[in-house]
Structure 1
Amino acid sequence: MSNTFSKAADSVPNTQWLPVILLWVAGISAAMQFAKFSVSFGDLLVYYEMGPTLTGASLSAVGVAGLVFGVSAGMIASRVGYLKVLVGALMLGGVLSFIQATLPTFHVLLVTRVLEGFSQLGVVVAAPTLIAKLSAPHHKSLTMGIWGTFFGVAFAVCGWIGKQLLEEHGMTTLFLSHGVLITVIGVVLFLVLRQNSVLDIAAVVGNQGGFFSQMARIYRNPRALLPSVIFLFYTLTLVSVLTYVPSLSGDAEGNKWMLIVLPLISTSGTFIAGAIAQYVFRPQKVALLAYSGLAVSALVLSVSVNGSIWFSGLVCVMVLFLGMVPGSALAMIPTLARNPGEQAQSYGLMAQFGNIGGTLGPPTFATAMAAYGLSGLVGLILCICCFGVFFSLLAGRIKPAV
Structure 2
Amino acid sequence: MQKTSWAAVGIAIFSGMVAAAAIGKVPPALPAMRDQLGLTMVEAGWVMSTFATLGGCCALFFGGASARVGELRLALLGLAMMVFGALLGAFAQSYTLLLLSRVLEGSGFIAVVVTLPSLITRSTAPRDYRLTLGLWSIYLPFGSSVAMLTAPFLLPSLGWRGLWLVLAGATLACATLLYRMRQRFVAPANAPSGPASDVILETLRSPGAWCLTAAFFTYTLQWFTLMVWLPSFLVDHRGLSVSLAGALTAGVVAANVPGNIVGGWLVHRDIRRGTLICGTSLFMLACAFGIFDERLPDALRYGLCLLFTSVGGILPAAAFSGLTAHAPSPRHIGAVNGLLVQGSNLGQFIGPPAIAAAVTAGGGDWRAATGLMAGAAVAGVAAGLLLLVIERTPPDTRSAPAGHAVAEGGGSNC
Q: TM-score, normalization: structure 1?
A: 0.89
Alignment of 1:252-267 (within 5 A): 252=239, 258-267=248-257
**1:308–1:45 CA distance, 2 compared to 1 (3 A):** closer
- Corresponding residue for residue 84 of structure 1: 73
**C-alpha deviation, 1:347, in angstroms:** 0.9
Which of residues 312, 327, 346 in structure 2 aligns to 1:322?
312
Which of residues 216, 227, 232 in structure 1 aligns to 2:217?
232
**1:298–1:157 CA distance, 2 compared to 1 (3 A):** closer
| SS of structure 2 residue aligned to 1:78 | helix
| SS of structure 2 residue aligned to 1:305 | coil
Which of residues 337, 354, 367 in structure 2 aligns to 1:375?
367
| In 1: Cα distance, 2:120 partner to 2:59 partner | 19
Instruction: Report the RMSD for the aligned CA atoms in angstroms.
Output: 2.4
**C-alpha deviation, 1:299, in angstroms:** 4.1
1:324-368: CA deviation from partner (whole Å, max 9, x where unpaired): 221111112123324222211111111211221111100111122
Which of residues 91, 95, 105 in structure 1 aligns to 2:94?
105
1:119-149: CA deviation from partner (whole Å, max 9, x where unpaired): 0011011111111222223322222222111
- Corresponding residue for residue 46 of structure 1: 35
**2:395 matches 1:397:** no
| In 1: Cα distance, 2:315 partner to 2:134 partner | 10
Which of residues 344, 363, 382 in structure 1 aligns to 2:334?
344
| In 2: Cα distance, 1:57 partner to 1:304 partner | 32
Which of residues 334, 351, 355 in structure 2 aligns to 1:361?
351
What count of residue pairs does the alignment treat as equivalent?
A: 387
**1:100–1:242 CA distance, 2 compared to 1 (3 A):** closer
Whether the 8 Å contact between 1:145 and 1:330 is mirrored in structure 2 is yes
Which of residues 187, 208, 212 in structure 2 aligns to 1:200?
187
**C-alpha deviation, 1:221, in angstroms:** 1.8
Alignment of 1:19-168 (within 5 A): 19-168=8-157
| In 1: Cα distance, 2:181 partner to 2:202 partner | 34
Whether the 8 Å contact between 1:218 and 1:225 is mirrored in structure 2 is no
**2:278 matches 1:282:** no
1:259-302: CA deviation from partner (whole Å, max 9, x where unpaired): 23211112222221111111140222211111122223334556
| In 2: Cα distance, 1:80 partner to 1:113 partner | 23
| In 2: Cα distance, 1:180 partner to 1:245 partner | 31
**C-alpha deviation, 1:75, in angstroms:** 1.1
| In 1: Cα distance, 2:95 partner to 2:287 partner | 44
- Corresponding residue for residue 402 of structure 2: none
| In 2: Cα distance, 1:97 partner to 1:77 partner | 23
Q: TM-score, normalization: structure 2?
A: 0.86
Whether the 8 Å contact between 1:284 and 1:332 is mirrored in structure 2 is no
**1:158–1:363 CA distance, 2 compared to 1 (3 A):** same
Q: Which moved more, 1:242-251 or 1:286-295?
A: 242-251
**C-alpha deviation, 1:251, in angstroms:** 4.2
- Corresponding residue for residue 294 of structure 1: 284
**1:96–1:299 CA distance, 2 compared to 1 (3 A):** closer
- Corresponding residue for residue 412 of structure 2: none
1:135-186: CA deviation from partner (whole Å, max 9, x where unpaired): 2233222222221111111222212333322211212211111111111110
| SS of structure 1 residue aligned to 2:296 | coil
**1:304–1:51 CA distance, 2 compared to 1 (3 A):** closer
Structure 2: give runs of 5+ residues left out of the alignment.
Answer: 396-404, 408-414
**C-alpha deviation, 1:85, in angstroms:** 0.6
**1:57–1:381 CA distance, 2 compared to 1 (3 A):** same
Which of residues 202, 206, 214 in structure 2 aligns to 1:221?
206
**1:25–1:161 CA distance, 2 compared to 1 (3 A):** same
| In 1: Cα distance, 2:264 partner to 2:210 partner | 20
| In 1: Cα distance, 2:293 partner to 2:154 partner | 43
Which of residues 243, 250, 257 in structure 1 aligns to 2:228?
243
| In 2: Cα distance, 1:40 partner to 1:58 partner | 11
What letter matches 2:83 in structure 1?
G
Structure 1: give runs of 5+ residues left out of the alignment.
Answer: 1-11
| In 1: Cα distance, 2:191 partner to 2:275 partner | 29
